[in-house]
Structure 1
Amino acid sequence: MGAFIAEVALRWSDMDAFGHVNHARTVTLLEEARVGLLFNEAERHGLTGMAEGMVVARVVIDYHAPLVYRAGVLQVRMSVRDLRPASFVIDYTATAGDTASVTTAETLMVPYDLAAGRPRRLTDDEREFLSEWQLNPALADKEYGLA
Structure 2
Amino acid sequence: MGVFVTGVRPRWSDMDAFGHVNHANTVTLLEEARIDLLFTEAARHGVPDMAHGVVVARLVVDYLTPLTFTGDEIVVEMSVRELKSASFTLDYSVRNGRQEGSPVVTTAETLMVPYNLTAGRPRRLLEAERDFLAGWRAGGNGA
Common fold by TM > 0.5: yes
Query: Which residue of the partner structure matches residue 136 of structure 1?
Result: 139
Q: How much has 1:3 moved relative to structure 2? A: 0.2
Runs (4 or more) in structure 1 with deviation over 6 Å come to: none
Measure the CA separation in 2 of the matches of 1:109 and 1:71.
30
Query: Which residue of the partner structure matches residue 126 of structure 1?
Result: 129
The number of residues matched between the two structures is 137
Comparing 71-80 with 100-109, greater Cα deviation is found at 71-80
Q: How much has 1:24 moved relative to structure 2? A: 0.5
Q: How much has 1:136 moved relative to structure 2? A: 2.5
TM-score (norm 1): 0.90
Query: Which residue of the partner structure matches residue 30 of structure 1?
Result: 30
Alignment RMSD, CA only? 1.2
Measure the CA separation in 2 of the matches of 1:64 and 1:29.
16
Query: Which residue of the partner structure matches residue 110 of structure 2?
Result: 107
Q: How much has 1:122 moved relative to structure 2? A: 0.2
Q: Which amino acid aligns with 1:115?
A: T
Percent identity between matched residues is: 61
Check the 8 A contact 1:20/1:68 in 2, yes or no: yes
Unaligned 5+ runs, structure 1 = 138-147
Measure the CA separation in 2 of the matches of 1:24 and 1:50.
24
Q: How much has 1:72 moved relative to structure 2? A: 1.4
Comparing 94-103 with 79-88, greater Cα deviation is found at 94-103
Check the 8 A contact 1:71/1:96 in 2, yes or no: no
TM-score (norm 2): 0.92
Unaligned 5+ runs, structure 2 = none
Measure the CA separation in 2 of the matches of 1:76 and 1:20.
17
